[in-house]
Chain A
Amino acid sequence: MKRYLVKRIGYMLVTLFVIVTITFFLMQLLPGTPFTNPEKLTDQQMTILNAKYGLDQPVGIQYIRYLGNLVQGDLGYSFQHEGRTVSSMISDRIGPSAFIGLQALVFGAIIGLVLGIISALKHNSIFDYGSVAIAVIGMSIPSFVFAALLQYYVGVKLEWLPVALWEGYSSTILPSFALSVTVTATVARFIRSEMLEVLGQDYVITARAKGMTENQVIIKHVIRNALIPVVTMLGPLAVSIMTGTLVIEKIFSVPGLGEQFTLSILVLDYSVIMGITIFYSALFIFVVFLVDIIYGFLDPRITYKEGESA
């Protein structure tokens, strides 16, 4: 197990290094300058600015410098928001993104779970068709359409919840709901098919034969076993939700990270592009790693002995 961990962490670092390198050089291929107001800068000013930020150096040297700073944990300063460090920009904005993402995950998991269980237990009934229909709709309608509808009907027409802005807990509910639709649909479908499979297993028949009540059978044997694959799926889903909130954040005026990322690419804010890419990649790699570890605890069939590790 220990050796497996060391090896995995080593791989993670290598992956991150490859991502940093590729992003750095790809970014250099983008046309333009990171400076503000490029329409009005004269060539003279451009030369002075380039020298000031070391952008007149060959790309190789810039890359080595960047790596040097990165190893010391320095992500540099933003070009567009002069004086602001990239790490402070990330730490200021990750909070709202993470909160909405996680809340969406909780909403989605709970609703999805309920829908999935009902639909498996009442297989081929009107309930089953109803929740399957909800799941299909949830998968096929993009979350931003749902967001716009929620904003208009719940916010403007009914005035139950704030239309947008970031002013206390009530303003997190609509964006989380809009985001949770995909999660709900995914979880519901997953649970349904897993449960249907588990319900046909021999040990379920055995449990019933032992005289357990139906509730005991469902809770202790069926749901618990059906949950295992769902847990592994939630990890990557969590990351993609936390990072994929761009449109939702824009619609609900949430001061999150998603919007910053696209913006930084559009204005070519080199240090911010690098910083957020590294942050997202590290997060993703870490979550995948975590899921692998948790999976081992949940499912006794998987062990991380030497030589067997994936």
Chain B
Amino acid sequence: MRKKIRNSALTLGMATALLLSGCNFSNSTEKVDDDKDNKVNQTLNVTEPADVPTLDSTKAHDGIAFTVLNNVNEGLYRQDENNLPIKALATEHKESEDKVVHTFTLRDSKWSNGEPVTAKDFEFAWKRVMKDNSPYAFMFVTAGIKNAEAILNAEKDADELGIKAIDEKTLEVTLEAANPLFQTLLTFPTFLPQNQKFVEEKGDQYALEADGILFNGPFKLVEWTHEQGWKYEKNEDYWDAKAVKLDNINVYVVKDPSTGTNLYETEKVDRVELSSALVDQYKDDENFQTLKESGLVFLRFNHKHPVLGNKDVRKAINMAIDKKGLTDVILKDGSSPLNGVVPAGFYNSPDNKDYRELNGDFNTGTVKEAQEAWAKGLKETGQKDVTVSINIADSDDQKKVAEYIQAQLEDNLPGFKLEIKAVPFAQRLEIEKAIEYDLSLSSWGPDYSDPMTYLDMWLKGGSANRMDYYNPKLDELVAKARTESDLTKRYQMLLDLEKILLEEDAAIAPLYQEGESILIREKINGVLVHPTGAEFTYKWASIKE
């Protein structure tokens, strides 16, 4: 018996050793060399809520991957602190007179395997996006690159995309027509270059591990342990390496916000996002900050609905909801009320004024004004009592918002009844696409840093319209703005588009723009946060004394 026990103890020990070796612990043992030459340790520690699915820039589809790509690679342009495009790999950008043909001259720079970055690398990567019908292939259509739409519709071959490497350092891109958005879009990670030889060598394992991708940006990825985190190191071969202050960035995958806060408390990380439950606890902390984000949450109306099809009814619904109560009492997560379709702090006019300030608030009013509009609308539609349903996803947040709206509308609009129909997220979307709802609680994230991303979704038959809205004036003006190259004139058109949508038609009821509450250590400087594409740029970040 005793011998048996010893044997089994031995087996147990071996099994434990085996298991431990299968555990993939990440290496935290290496000491960070503090106080080298009395310099501040330029190491930033941050968290991300999930792992990166793939770092293949042609296939990446999530903000976390975009952030990594933005910091380890360099494209023609990158976003500056105002989210405006600045030249990166391009030293020169010439346009033909009709602004259709764009010629870029590339600076000398190297991939991390020592090969030069050439115009061919762009041609290869861009055609690859089209060939694979990648999740963000539509960006090429938005950018108006020649034949992109035809390729997506399988009418043309990916090789016919309007991009050509003239020589090693000269890249020529042809558009369908002049497009004022083109430069802005070029900062998006889908437009990054790729080294053909390397990509083909790695095959279907390309960009799935840290050693499966090449770098030409401010940082190199030196470690990537799936589901646990990754580590950046300064790229000494980067063309602008002297601008890069940070030596290391450690990123930890932390899925639970309160865990993140506990890690912040123990000084393991320098920046965390707070969940709304934790905001009350930390809102007086000196390192507490609220950032405006660009996600828009709004109500879609079914414009074919007998009552909701009425403009005054929609206006009444807009006015009857106290949006401030919603963001400050119910959500408390950094969201702020929104009375327009383009969020505040998203985009400035050529003379540097915020879009939201210029256009002001739409469809706001007292409860009394709401009731007047409501009475008028009911009279026009010949109804007395109205029962409609609202289509929402069954997440906690959406339920909270829907219940609040229900209470507000039923209290403030006599005869109004709202039924909440909560379904799984994917189904909410299907119902919306089929327009089988009365009201739908929707959200929209911008694709690029320009108000157009919120305005051209309402075109007739557009895939994001999903509510049978149609105003020929809006369609016409969108078409005009798309090719207008005078920036001041174009900006005015963008302002007018929102007026058509909201002032004239009250087509949707905007509720709030998302925000985030964070804790960030005082010593952290210059981490750029962008509303679209990559969330963060670390190129200019540093640690203060």
Contacts and interface: CB of A to CB of B under 8 A. Distances in A.
A215 interface: no
Contacts of A165: 26, 28, 228-229, 252, 254, 263, 268
B256 A83 contact: no
Contacts of B228: 165-166, 253, 255
A263 B463 CA distance: 27
- The contact size tier of chain A is 35 or more
Given A31-B424, A32-B424, A164-B263, A255 B19 contact: no
A92 B259 contact: no
Interface in B448-478: 463-464
Contacts of A35: 135
A167 B430 contact: no
B430 A32 contact: yes
Nearest to B59: A82
Interface string A30-41: 111101111111
B256 A36 contact: no
Contacts of B53: 36, 80-82, 84
Given A95-B23, A151-B262, A36 B227 contact: no
Contacts of A52: 133
A255 B226 CA distance: 8
Contacts, number: 152
Interface string A204-224: 000000000000000000000
Interface string A229-267: 000000000000000000000111101000100000010
Nearest to A167: B28
Given A164-B263, A255-B226, A32 B426 contact: yes
Nearest to B29: A168
Contacts of A259: 255
B25 A31 contact: no
- The contact size tier of chain B is 35 or more
B200 interface: no
B390 interface: no
Contact of B262 (A40, A82, A152): A152
B253 A255 contact: yes
A219 B228 CA distance: 45
Contacts of B229: 165
B376 to A, nearest CB: 35
B23 A163 contact: no
A155 B153 contact: no
Contact of A156 (B62, B262, B445, B463): B262
A168 B62 CA distance: 30
A61 B528 CA distance: 50
A200 B414 CA distance: 75
B32 interface: no
B152 interface: yes
Contact of A164 (B62, B208, B259, B463): B259
B266 interface: yes
Contacts of B444: 39
Interface stretch (A15-23, A43-51, A67-75, A111-119): A43-51
B527 to A, nearest CB: 21
A99 B15 CA distance: 10
Contacts of B364: none
Contacts of A81: 53-54
A32 B425 CA distance: 8
B121 interface: no
Contacts of B206: 83
A287 interface: no
A82 B54 contact: yes
Contacts of A167: 25-28
A31 B266 contact: no
A168 B225 CA distance: 14
Contact of B138 (A42, A92, A99): A42
Contact of B208 (A38, A83, A166, A169): A83
Nearest to B52: A81
B156 to A, nearest CB: 13
A33 B426 CA distance: 8
B111 to A, nearest CB: 21
B62 A45 contact: no
A96 interface: yes
Contacts of B430: 31-32
A167 B266 CA distance: 15
Contacts of B426: 30-33, 38, 268
A259 B230 CA distance: 19
A166 B26 contact: yes
A169 B17 CA distance: 11
B10 interface: no
B352 interface: no
B137 interface: yes
Contacts of A93: 227
A98 interface: yes
A148 interface: yes
A29 B255 CA distance: 29
Given A31-B426, A44-B153, A83-B204, A163 B463 contact: no
A159 B23 CA distance: 23
Contact of A163 (B19, B24, B204, B266): B266
B153 A253 contact: no
A163 B138 contact: no
B138 A45 contact: yes
B154 interface: yes
B19 A98 contact: yes
Contact of A37 (B29, B135, B254): B135
Contact of A42 (B20, B29, B56, B463): B463
A196 interface: no
B30 to A, nearest CB: 11
Interface in B16-67: 19-20, 22-29, 53-54, 56, 59, 61-62
A27 interface: no
Interface in B236-275: 252-256, 258-259, 262-263, 265-266, 268
Please give me the 8 A-B residue pairs with the lowest Cβ-Cβ distance, nearest first: A32-B426, A255-B227, A95-B22, A31-B427, A167-B28, A81-B53, A36-B61, A163-B262
Interface of B: 19-20, 22-29, 53-54, 56, 59, 61-62, 133, 135-138, 152-154, 204-206, 208, 225-229, 252-256, 258-259, 262-263, 265-266, 268, 423-427, 429-430, 444-445, 447, 463-464
12 contacts: A32-B426, A33-B426, A38-B429, A40-B447, A41-B135, A42-B463, A48-B154, A98-B19, A98-B22, A163-B266, A168-B29, A251-B258
Given A44-B152, A82-B59, 15 more contacts: A32-B429, A37-B136, A41-B463, A84-B53, A92-B24, A95-B23, A96-B23, A155-B266, A163-B259, A165-B252, A167-B27, A168-B28, A253-B228, A255-B24, A255-B225
